[in-house]
Amino acid sequence: MAGTENLYVVGDSDFDQEILQSDIPALVDFWAAWCGPCRTVGPVVEELAEEYAGKVKIAKLNVDENQGTPTKYGVRNIPTLILFKGGQVVDQIVGAVPKSRIKDLLEKA
């Protein structure tokens, strides 16, 4: 499933290629349809995808359809946002937080 122009949708199969091997830092939003707070964060992540286009690759990963990647990164709660750089985890945020806090995370990219 394709996202909007600057918002990527990734899964277990292309996580390595799209996120870990990304030329620029990447932020992944781990989410699911059943999760209320995920619907709070979702639109904010979409806005940030536009604002950070070309600087940080911003992607969503549906944990319902992709269970390998959340397990690999120890995700036990959603929404979880993880920032990757050069294939490594830089930092993460758990739960619905204000946009300003996600921006603070992105500044670490």
The catalytic residue among 7, 28, 38, 102 is 38
Do strands 88-94 and 80-85 pair parallel, antiparallel, or not at all (unpaired)?
A: antiparallel
71 is catalytic: no
User: Is residue 61 within 8 Å of residue 11, measured between CB atoms?
Assistant: yes
Candidate residues 52, 80, 83, 105; the one interacting with another protein per rule CB under 8 A:
80
By CB under 8 A, is residue 11 in contact with another protein?
no
39 is catalytic: no
Provide the binding-site residues for another protein, judged by CB under 8 A. 32, 34-40, 43, 63-64, 70, 74-80, 92, 94-96, 98-100
